[in-house]
Chains A and B, each alone.
Chain A
Amino acid sequence: MHRVVLFCLFALTAAFSAQAYDYPFTNPYEATVFGTLPRDEFDLSSVRPAGFSDLNPLRDLGVVRSREMLLHDRPVPEILWYDDTLQYTLAQQRDKAPLLFILAGTGSSHESATCSFLQRVFHRAGFHVVTLSSPTYPNFVVSASATQVPGYIPHDVADLYQAMDAIADQLGRDRISSFHLAGYSLGGTQAAFLAELDTREGRFGFEKVLLLNPAVNLMTSAIRLDHLLSDNVADRSEAARTVAGLVRQLSEAYRSSDQVNFGDEFLFALHRNRTISEKELKILIGVAFRLSLASMVFTSDTCTGAGYIVPRGHRIVKDESLAPYLDSAVGVSFEDYVREYLLPFLQFQDPAITPEKAVAACSLEAIGPFLRGAEGVAVMTNADDPILTPENFAFLERTFGPRLTVFPVGGHCGNLRFRDNVAAMLDFFRK
Chain B
Amino acid sequence: MRVLLLVLLLVLASGCATTPEHQPGPFQAPVHRGLPEDPEVERLFLVEDPWEGFNRWMYHFNAQLDRYVYLPVVHFYEAVLPDSVQQGVSNVFNNFKEIPIFVNSVLQGNPKKASVSLGRFVFNTTIGLGGLIDVLGKGGIPQENEDFGQTLGAWGVPPGPYLVLPVLGPSGLRDAGGTAFDAVLTLNPADFVFDGMGWAARGTATTAVYGLKAVDARHQVKFRYYETGSPFEYQLVRFVYTKKRELDIDK
Contact = CB atoms under 8 A, between A and B. Distances in A.
Nearest to A79: B231
B82 A298 contact: no
Contacts of B44: 240-241, 243-244
A260 interface: yes
A255 B26 CA distance: 53
B225 to A, nearest CB: 7
A278 interface: no
Most chain A C-beta atoms within 10 Å of own C-beta, residue among B39, B67, B250: B39
B22 A299 contact: no
B56 A318 contact: yes
Interface in A225-281: 236-237, 240-241, 243-244, 247, 251, 254-255, 260
Interface string A338-359: 0011001100110000000000
B29 A341 contact: yes
A324 B35 contact: yes
B138 interface: no
Contacts of A79: 231
Interface in B1-51: 19-36, 39-45
B231 A295 contact: yes
A390 interface: no
Nearest to B232: A326
A365 B30 CA distance: 30
B41 A109 contact: no
A21 interface: no
B229 A138 contact: yes
B29 A298 contact: no
Given A295-B229, A305-B23, A58 B33 contact: no
Interface string A70-92: 00000111111111000000000
A304 B27 contact: yes
A240 B230 contact: no
Most chain B C-beta atoms within 10 Å of own C-beta, residue among A291, A303, A308, A331: A308
A338 B81 CA distance: 50
B181 interface: no
Given A75-B20, A319-B56, A330 B31 contact: no
A137 interface: yes
A4 interface: no
Nearest to B142: A260
Contact of A236 (B29, B32, B41, B79): B41
Nearest to A340: B31
B241 interface: no
Interface residues of A, number: 70
B84 A57 contact: yes
Contacts of B54: 319
B129 to A, nearest CB: 20
B84 A306 contact: no
A344 B82 CA distance: 55
Interface in A293-333: 294-295, 298-299, 301-309, 311-313, 315, 318-332
Q: How large is the interface on B (under 10, 10 to 19, 20 to 34, 35 or more residues)?
A: 35 or more
B232 to A, nearest CB: 5
A15 interface: no
B24 A313 contact: yes
B197 interface: no
A305 B22 CA distance: 9
Contacts of B82: 57-58
B41 A240 contact: yes
A323 B42 CA distance: 8
A119 to B, nearest CB: 17
Contacts of B30: 340, 344
Contacts of A255: 247, 250-251
Contacts of A247: 45, 243
Contacts of B52: 319, 321
A322 B35 contact: no
B57 interface: yes
Given A295-B230, A302-B231, A305-B24, A331 B33 contact: yes
B41 A326 contact: yes
Most chain A C-beta atoms within 10 Å of own C-beta, residue among B23, B27, B45, B64: B27
A139 interface: yes
A80 B232 CA distance: 11
A254 B67 CA distance: 33
B27 A319 contact: no
B63 interface: yes
Contacts of B84: 57
Nearest to B55: A319
A292 B231 CA distance: 10
Contacts of A330: 41
B213 to A, nearest CB: 23
Nearest to B59: A318
B57 A319 contact: yes
Given A76-B22, A81-B64, A301-B29, 8 more contacts: A57-B84, A78-B22, A240-B43, A303-B22, A305-B22, A313-B24, A318-B57, A319-B60
28 contacts: A57-B83, A81-B64, A82-B63, A236-B41, A240-B44, A255-B250, A260-B142, A295-B232, A302-B231, A304-B24, A305-B25, A306-B29, A307-B32, A308-B29, A319-B60, A320-B53, A322-B232, A322-B234, A322-B235, A323-B39, A325-B35, A326-B41, A326-B42, A327-B35, A327-B41, A327-B42, A344-B29, A349-B27
Interface of B: 19-36, 39-45, 52-54, 56-57, 60, 63-64, 67, 79, 82-84, 142, 145, 225-227, 229-232, 234-235, 243, 247, 250-251
- In the A-B complex, the 9 residue pairs with the smallest Cβ-Cβ separation, listed nearest first, are A305-B24, A308-B29, A327-B39, A75-B22, A244-B44, A340-B31, A319-B53, A306-B29, A295-B230
